[in-house]
Amino acid sequence: MREGARLRLDYSAQSLWSIDRMIEEIRREGAPEAAVRQVLRGFGAYTGEVIVRQTGAEWWATGGDHWIRTPDGRLWDPIDEARRCYAGQGSLRLLCRDAVSAGPRR
């Protein structure tokens, strides 16, 4: 996806602006969510990794779902947030901002 879309993905919080815009463009094209489910999952996983690197968080998996647990003990669901973003109700950039500001960094 990165090469095809010419996205600059460097695991920085700033790169999530591009992800949010890309999701918005895909949504405007009217693609059904089922057709872009894997792309959204990838964008969510990328966002989770940005949060991990920014906060010292850890990945958690339960029942097939993947979460991020920040050092303050809070759980974040970046994959679901990517789906919400596609529905016009979320933002991966803002999720990262909230997770980074939620607690102390390691």
Whether 62 shows a pLDDT value over 80: the answer reads yes
To the nearest 10°, report the CA torsion of 52, 76, 47, 28. Answer: -170
Q: How many C-alpha atoms does 96 have within 13 Å on its Cβ side?
A: 25
CA gap 29, 61 in Å, rounded: 32
Whether 49 shows a pLDDT value over 90: the answer reads yes
pLDDT at residue number 104: 57
pTM of the model: 0.89
Q: What is the pLDDT of residues 12-45, one digit of tens each?
A: 999 999 999 999 999 999 999 899 999 999 999 9
pLDDT at residue number 7: 73
Domain ranges of the chain: 10-101
